[in-house]
Chains A and B, each alone.
Chain A
Amino acid sequence: MQYIFSSNFTKLLENLKNDYEIYIPVKKGEQRFYKKYIDFTDDIVIGEVRAFEPLKSFFFRAREIVAENFKSDIPHTIQKPFCIVGVKACDLKGFKIQNYVFMNQDYQDPFYIKMCENNLIISIDCTLAIGTCFCLALNVKPYPQENFDINLSMVGEGFIVEVGSQKGQNLVEKYSFLFEEEKKEFISQRDQQREKVIKAVEKNIRENKIPYQDSFKGIIERGYESNIWADEANNCVECGACNTICPTCHCFLLYDQKDENRMARLRIWDSCMIKDYAQVAGGANPRPELWMRLRNRFEKKFDFFPKVANLYACTGCGRCISACPAKIDIRKILNRLVNNA
């Protein structure tokens, strides 16, 4: 493995600016947000914990034009591919679900593919856990193990660099003058740091009585007629925040707009919690009640995805817990489902 000093990492970013549009996390108050990288400003925090917004927002845009005036071309163009720095392991799992939906199914989505094309993912180990983190329950470690180009582990005055793809390998070779051989003691320092974060996440899981995914099999079928859904949906205000903030949610709404001489078809993120989501024009609605839609959201994540893609569509990032104005808590619902309470 390689090592890069922080000062050289800044140089690396300066070089990458030529080929990529770089986004990097910055800290504002208690939150971290991705910001376009221009200079290495003081507010940049590459490590710590996942950003406020999910990684999907770079590739599956919240709102984009997908057709214009019957033209056959694909309207959206970006100047440079994205380089996203400081991506956390939970978001890489979300990426996996998005890739399954938009790339690996019977039909491919040209917009998503275009946005992902030639991008560069520079991930990093979490250096702390916040109270809502429970990635380990979903078998996601708080440090990236797959789906990155290069991964960083903050040690000493810089980062241990792990290569995760050919693209990452090419990068390290191209800028080899910025990297050096890592020192043996760095690995044990890294492992200690990782162990510290694992302990923190384990503490979260213990204190919130969150079940591990080994116990998830069949929870939706078993709990289908349970009153858990009505109980938990009681305070829901149908805002859809849980869906939009979720790194695995992929649903979208197609809608058309026109002005005098132009018509455009757009897609925007949609939410299965909204009443008319599955309603047909004739008025029939398979899920007229909020609790049915809450159950459906869990069914999609914990029954549909494991059946079709062999993956639970939850990353343990905890974003939906923080986003919900009604304090609906996925940790509590999973606990109730597993324990049939």
Chain B
Amino acid sequence: MHKIKNPYRPIKAEITEVISETPTIKTIKIEPKEPITFETGQFVELTIPGIGEAPFTPSSRPAMKGIMELTVMRVGKVTEKIHELKKGDIVGVRGPFGRGYPIDKFKGKEILVVGGGCGFAPLRSLMYELFDRSGEFKKLFFRGGCKTPQELLYRSEIDDWAKRKDLDIKLTVDKGDSGWEGNVGVVTTILGDLDMDYESGIAIVCGPPVMMKFSTKKLLDMGFREENVYLSMEKNMSCGIGKCGHCRLGIYYACKDGPVFSYDKVKDFSNIWE
């Protein structure tokens, strides 16, 4: 009979660096002991041995070999433990699972990436992939928002992004401070007046549910087509292979059919924003 790999077994991985991003968010760098490659937007399950596992979309450049970065907000039992990790600690990793962003479909198009709060994490990986393949697209736009300037992730990297000729970038915060010179307001306030053709453009949205909900509505009002608006659905993904049932979304499982879905695929299901 056929030999099937055990899909529930984590691969051993070593923590090589821990970076504090904000008081509640850290980025950990892990070195899996068996090679793992992923497509941007796919997710992995990170295991804290003996404690449990939780799903994360890597925030690192997919083309980077050997090391994977995960940006983790402290919100529950597993992430609490992840925040206690130090260099040299051993964790487990399973995956990658699901379907990421269909980058090949974006060729020749204008792409708008909209991020909110910790939604910057998967989008960082996406942006690096888009930068690596920059010549394939017409133009890149990034619109990002978070609550306060202190909570803005990857700030020094984003300063570098701002220097790129192929990217039009604008940021906003809900509440500014004395050092903040950018826009103040929710992310939808900086979505208008883009120098792009909405009808043919691609929009990618990732962030907290309420931000995704209002951004999607705004994008559709602006003229984006439902099938061109890509969302990262946060569901309770566990097994990663569409068996355990937890992340069902209508006729799909977010873990194997997503977590990235175009809006037209999921719009008729109830409670997609929760």
| A residues with CB within 8 A of B | 66-67, 70-74, 101-102, 105-110, 113, 117, 224, 250-258, 263, 265, 267, 270, 272, 277-287, 292, 300, 304, 307-308
Contact = CB atoms under 8 A, between A and B. Distances in A.
A80 to B, nearest CB: 16
B79 A300 contact: no
Given A105-B242, A280-B235, A257 B256 contact: no
Which are the 4 A-B pairs with shortest beta-carbon distances? A258-B50, A251-B245, A281-B76, A107-B241
- Chain A interface main SS type: loop
A258 to B, nearest CB: 3
B270 interface: yes
Contacts of A71: 9
B4 A253 contact: no
B6 A74 contact: yes
A252 B244 contact: yes
B222 to A, nearest CB: 26
Nearest to A281: B76
5 contacts: A70-B92, A251-B244, A278-B247, A300-B245, A308-B251
A72 B239 contact: no
A270 B250 CA distance: 19
B75 A282 contact: yes
A250 B244 CA distance: 7
Contacts of B53: 254, 256
A110 B4 contact: yes
A9 to B, nearest CB: 29
Contacts of A252: 239, 243-245
Contacts of B5: 110
Nearest to A117: B1
A109 B243 contact: yes
B9 A284 contact: no
B1 to A, nearest CB: 6
B245 A272 contact: yes
Interface string B214-248: 00000000000000000000111011011111111
A257 B248 contact: no
